[in-house]
Amino acid sequence: MSLTITWYGHSAFGLEADGTTVLIDPYISGNPAAKTKASSLAANTILLTHAHNDHVGDTVAIAKRTGATVIATFELANYVESQGVRSVIGGNHGGTIRFDGGSTKFTPAWHTSSYADGEDIVAPGLPAGHVVRFGGKTIYFAGDTSLFLDMQLIAEEELDIAVLPIGDHFTMGPADAVKAAKMLRAGAIIPCHYNTFAPIKQDPQQFKRDVEAATASTVVVLEPGASATL
Ligand code: NI
Ligand code: MN
């Protein structure tokens, strides 16, 4: 079985296997790095890491159009449901939720979580990461987070791929992401959450050199809109 992973820029990814698609944090409209339109994306399942607008993005519109099931931490799931999405599953840290073709296990993430809905700030809940089993692979999406030592436990999930933020400022930066890669021992590392906005400008090729010098992992640097089959 092969798994195709597509980066839409920032923290927005798609996973495709056997004709089934999972979107993660589909921030497309207003994403300066996105090369596609939200209205062109297929989805069976949408996984959210937290409520920030640069992660929830187009979730409600895509879910309404496609009928995709949205999986998020409990309070954010309730908010998404309140916006008229019919198929929503709320989970929480440590829990595994099954979906069409796979599953996800919520991990902790050190970050904050809020959603600006016009003038209102709503739907906090807690941020999370996801350990996704799909397409014959195990993929860790760290979400927005700092470095934390419990990544040693996440390594016990035997990761094929770890998707890590490297932008700094709002999340860990490249030096801490190298430390994360050392703990996670994934086959491949994919950096994200960089070069979308000025405060998170980073050099992913330097990150690749640093990780590959310090670990046995291969770093896959994607361009926004590009896919890798793993
Ligand atoms: Ni965030
Ligand atoms: Mn973010």
> In the 3-class helix/strand/coil scheme, how is 85-121 assigned residue by residue?
CCCEEEECCCCEEEECCEEEEEEECCCCCCEEECCEE
Nearest bound ligand to the CA of residue 25 = 2
Expressed as residue numbers, the domain containing 96 is 4-229
pLDDT value for 123: 80
Q: For residue 166, what is the domain's CATH number?
A: 3.60.15.10
Q: Report CA(226)–ligand 1 centroid distance (Å).
A: 23
| 5 and 15 Cβ atoms separated by less than 8 Å | yes
pLDDT in tens, the chain (230 residues): 799 999 999 999 999 999 999 999 999 999 999 999 999 999 999 999 999 999 999 999 999 999 999 999 999 999 999 999 999 999 999 999 999 999 999 999 999 999 999 999 898 899 999 999 999 999 999 999 999 999 999 999 999 999 999 999 999 999 999 999 999 999 999 999 999 999 999 999 999 999 999 999 999 999 999 999 98
Nearest bound ligand to the CA of residue 51 = 1
Q: Report CA(170)–ligand 2 centroid distance (Å).
A: 7
Helices (H), the chain: 53-56, 59-66, 74-82, 151-155, 174-184, 204-214
Cα 176 from Cα 1, distance rounded (Å)? 33
The number of domains in the chain is 1
Q: Report CA(115)–ligand 1 centroid distance (Å).
A: 10
Residue closest to 186 by CA, chosen among 220, 159, 164: 159
pTM: 0.98
pLDDT value for 172: 98
Q: Report CA(204)–ligand 2 centroid distance (Å).
A: 17
> What is the β-pairing status of strands 137-141 and 161-165?
parallel
Nearest bound ligand to the CA of residue 113 = 1
Q: Report CA(180)–ligand 2 centroid distance (Å).
A: 18
Q: Report CA(1)–ligand 1 centroid distance (Å).
A: 32
